Structure 1
């Protein structure tokens, strides 16, 4: 199995720095969103993704292996903070899918409020749970889903990756089918675009890059106040093997560390 994936990111109309980062490759795709209110969110999201991507091309992880690899990449954030105390407190969300160790298996990794959706046979299903204050209110029955979409504290998250040894990332295993389409996106999309609109767009636009671009443009037209990033991945099981390849970086990750990037062949 492999992924046909593309990512599009835009700083948006109200931000001067893009703190969203993404990468896409035949073996995996990830979106990360630097946590607002903290320092250097663009560095946090980019650093984590570059380290994770560098060790991914030759790997077919099980759930525990992927979780461990993400937490090792997370250590990179604490290393930056140790070198520069002004970076203490920087953090990022992460939502990504990876080809698993067994045939036709995808691993979904998640922490924070960036989201992962799966489109299967024309039906869009949210596959992640937001780690957020508002989601906890919804889970407790205090707040309805309709009210959550416009709640003034919807951007307060309850989990992220910050380089701390207590950080947690959840990894779940999913069976893949030919024709599945995944959308990974930052909250600059989901805070402003209702899910039925996303479903309609993902059904109607065939090419992954065109679909990702359309999602971003829709969020901008909806008046998003944030950075906007969309990753669209189509799964195909017509090729079980592929040559390891460097990922394509988007958003903040396209400007940080690119000259230093190299695939880690030692992880084969």
Structure 2
């Protein structure tokens, strides 16, 4: 388990012409009640907010998730980040993981998901990315929406109409993912774009959170706790209390500065709603 970054409030990023983006963020993680080791890692340091959930046994999973957040942290060079730098860092992490996997029977890998502060001209936005079944949610005007789409067997069944979304977490293949960083695969994230508007709150989390808490419970915690650290702590604590079957990690990011209306269009799928 690797934690990079400290809880931060009022981090100000000048855009020029007197305009700023002001961010708050915090992260929390817990081993849960049934695992001996925490294989989750997170990075919470502007402009990168990332959660990785390692797989392959306690030592190997730790190495995989650690490699991702460390390579991304090393790649930070300024207040904004782009997909080219992201993918290069993930390729380096994949190489690190392949070395760690030598001699293992089942291979080593990790999910990774996150929000990257980016810029198009003078317009700030978050590039949301995902590989695996960790997730990013957005709370905007009191409405919670799931931004990412899981790379998992059950998600493919849901999209094919073979499984109702409410039954996905109870399916015996609910832990089987179809994409990861590692296992000899080339990193290939999916991307979405969300304007960095004041009032926006992002939740980046491992599946240890979403397997224990429903969408309504996530929304309630995010609405009830205005501070990012309080919100992250509450989510993790509630997930552990609800069963804690896996490691649990949550990173919460707020846009609370005054920024003029941006021209960047959101690419979050219309109607994308969170699953329990």
Contact map agreement 2:90 2:187 (CA 8 A) in 1: no
Task: State the alpha-carbon separation in 2 of the partners of residues 154 and 50 from structure 1.
Answer: 28
Q: Are 1:89 and 2:107 matched, yes or no?
A: yes
Aligned to 1:104, what secondary structure does the other structure show? strand
Query: 1:45 aligns to what?
Result: 65
2:80 matches 1:56: no
Shift of 1:59: 6.1
Q: Does 1:111 align with 2:125?
A: no
Provide the C-alpha distance between the structure 2 equivalents of 1:176 and 1:70, rounded to a whole number of angstroms: 24
Q: Which residue of the partner structure matches residue 158 of structure 1?
A: 178
Q: Structure 2 regions of 5+ residues with no counterpart? A: 1-20, 260-276
Matching residue within 57, 70, 82 for 2:90: 70
In the other structure, the counterpart of 2:169 is 149
Map of 1:248 onto structure 2:
none
Q: Distance in 1 between matches of 2:87 and 2:256?
A: 24
**Alignment match, 1:13:** 33
- Where do 4+ consecutive residues of structure 1 move more than 6 Å? none
Alignment equivalent of 2:224, drawn from 185, 189, 204: 204
* Larger helix fraction of residues: 1
Name the one with the larger strand percent: 2
SS in 2 for 1:149: helix
Aligned residues: 238
TM-score of the superposed pair, with normalisation by structure 1: 0.82
Local SS of the residue matching 2:55: coil
Higher RCO, 1 or 2 (CA under 8 Å, sep at least 6)?
1
Distance change (3 Å), C-alpha of 1:112 and 1:169: same
Map of 1:223 onto structure 2? 243
Q: Deviations over 1:152-182 (max 9, x none)?
A: 2201111000063533212332211011100
Shift of 1:89: 1.4
TM-score, normalization: structure 2?
A: 0.80
Q: 1:256: which partner in 2?
A: none
Unpaired runs of 5+ in structure 1?
240-268
Tell me if the contact between 2:151 and 2:179 (Cα under 8 Å) persists in the aligned partners. yes
Contact 1:38/1:89 (<8 A) preserved: no
What is the match of residue 128 of structure 1?
148
Residue in 1 that maps onto 2:100: 80
Query: Tell me, what secondary structure is at the counterpart of 2:37?
Result: coil
Q: Could you tell me which residue of structure 2 aligns to residue 255 of structure 1?
A: none
In structure 2, C-alpha distance between the alignment counterparts of 1:168 and 1:226, rounded to whole Å = 25
Query: Which residue of structure 1 aligns with residue 194 of structure 2?
Result: 174
SS at match of 2:170: coil
Cα shift at 1:16: 0.5
Indicate whether 1:100 and 2:125 are aligned: no
Does the Cα contact within 8 Å between 1:138 and 1:144 map onto a contact in 2? yes
Kept in 1, the 8 Å contact 2:37–2:58? The answer is: no
Q: Quickly say closer, same or farther: Cα 1:65–1:54, change in 2 above 3 A.
A: closer
Contact 1:107 1:174 in 2 (8 A): yes
The residue aligned with 2:13 is none
- CA shift at 1:37, angstroms? 6.0
